[in-house]
Amino acid sequence: MQLSKIKKDGSFRVTEVNPENGSIARLMALGLLPGKEIRLTHEAPLGDPIAIEFGGCHMSLRLDDAAHVKVEPIS
């Protein structure tokens, strides 16, 4: 499931990242790699961008870019 499609805050596990996207390539240099746990913490008032956290790193990410990260819920 694409990170951009998630409507609820919570924890997820990264299954796939698309390094072709500039923002995602940056996040990968910060350690956002498949298998990593990621948290969706906030959504801006207009629904975009979203705030995420992984490995102690809090970032703001636009939905266009978040579509390039696939995640699965942590059960």
- Footprint (CB under 8 A) of other proteins, residues 24-53: 25-31, 33, 41-49, 51
- Dihedral sign for Cα atoms in the order 46, 54, 70, 26: positive
CA-nearest of 53, 17, 51 to 37 is 53
Task: Give 5 or 58: the residue with its C-beta nearer to other proteins.
Answer: 58
**Distance in Å, CB of 44 to other proteins, minimum:** 6
At its nearest, how many Å lie between other proteins and the CB of residue 67? 13
Please tell me the distance from the alpha carbon of residue 68 to that of residue 51, in angstroms, as a whole number. Answer: 15
Q: Decide if residue 15 touches other proteins (CB under 8 A).
A: no
Q: Does 71 bind other proteins (CB under 8 A)?
A: no
According to DSSP, the β-strands at 69-73 and 10-17 are antiparallel
